[in-house]
Amino acid sequence: EGSQAASVMGGGGDGDPSCELAVDARRQRLLRVLRRALSGPALTAPLERLRWHSYGLLVVVLLTHVVCYVLIKQLIEKQHTNVYVVHRQALAMDRSQLVVWRIMMGPYCERKNVTAKVSACANTMNYTLGKLADNIALLEQYHQEVYLGSGGLRRLQPEVYDTWTAKHLQYNIYLDTRPPGQLAEAAGVWQLGNRFLAAAREALYWMPRMRDAYQAHRSWSFLVDAGLGPLFAGYQGSLELLMESAWRAIERMRADLVVMLVLEALLVQVVCCAYQGRLLVRVERARLLGVLALMGLPGHVVRQLASREIKVLEDDEEEDAWSVGGEEVGELPTAATTTT
């Protein structure tokens, strides 16, 4: 039967386009085995697994990128906050000295013996009061943003928080007594700065009324003494601590970025690539059975199967039994041997 099928298979020449290939029952079984080997569950299951798992790997890589982006954005925002606080602390130092300058020069230029309004005394009292009010408002804004934060409350680093709250700054409170007296006190940067702002606003009221006599007022003495001494020293110490904290945060961010890159590039992506390579190996192993089955057929048979329409004889009554009987595994080598 095999020789008869072989004669039928080889009877039509490769160059004759009118020749039709007839396949008997054994050839039909061989063809069904080949089709199941090439397109059956043994191959489609690994292909489906490769497809869906590849989608899953893409989702994992995408989620990893999104998580890393969010973390990097948070780190950058944190560094921006640190730099912002340092900037505000430096501006608070600057405005405190401008407040002291206006407090000192306002009464000084209002003395009776100052007749020529030139140089530092070229400005009028109204101009000095306007600039003093602006500097007080800016100092209050920067003073509160450093301690309380901008856009919401936040807690300073422990050492900076101690500078602003611990009573380590020694200053004098000037009393309206006869003779004028002083009271030594200690406070943190936050409390001393608030008292400085309150005294500066009091100066806005007394300066245009007392003129040069305001230099003998208790608030003038407090502003000059505290502004040039303990308040400036407290701001300076806070600025140094904030700078050190900002540099440490940058170093921590560098380490966090290195860890993040290692986890994303060397762990997640490498594991995903290795798993996908394993899936590809399984698919290639499944395809190998079909390739080896085709290699067991004669060359002219493979060419005819690929180039010509195959007509299957419908007189095989064993087709149903063949589909259920489970002979495919054992029949493939027999059919291949017969064709050779």
Q: Per-residue DSSP letters for 263-278?
A: IIIIIIHHHHHHHHHH
Number of structural domains (the chain) is: 1
Contact by Cβ (8 Å): 64, 184: no
209 in any annotated domain? yes
Neighbour-count burial for 282-297, b at 16+ CB within 10 Å, e otherwise: ebeebbeebeebbebb
98 in any annotated domain? yes
Distances (CA, A) of 117 to 111, 122, 127, 130: 11, 5, 13, 18
Report how far residue 163's alpha carbon sits from residue 172's, in angstroms, rounded to the nearest whole number. Answer: 19
Question: Tens digit of pLDDT per residue, the chain (340 long)?
Answer: 444 444 444 444 444 444 444 445 666 666 676 676 666 666 778 888 888 989 999 999 999 989 999 999 988 888 888 889 999 999 999 999 999 999 999 999 888 887 777 788 888 899 999 999 999 999 999 999 999 988 777 788 889 999 999 999 999 999 988 888 899 999 999 999 999 999 999 999 999 999 999 999 999 999 999 999 999 999 999 999 999 999 998 999 989 888 888 888 888 888 999 998 888 888 887 777 666 655 666 666 666 656 655 555 455 444 544 444 444 444 444 444 444 3
116 in any annotated domain? yes
How high is the pLDDT of residue 311? 55
Residue 222 one-letter amino acid: F
How high is the pLDDT of residue 297? 60
Domain that holds residue 219: 86-262
69 in any annotated domain? no
210 in any annotated domain? yes
157 in any annotated domain? yes
212 in any annotated domain? yes
How high is the pLDDT of residue 188? 95
151 in any annotated domain? yes
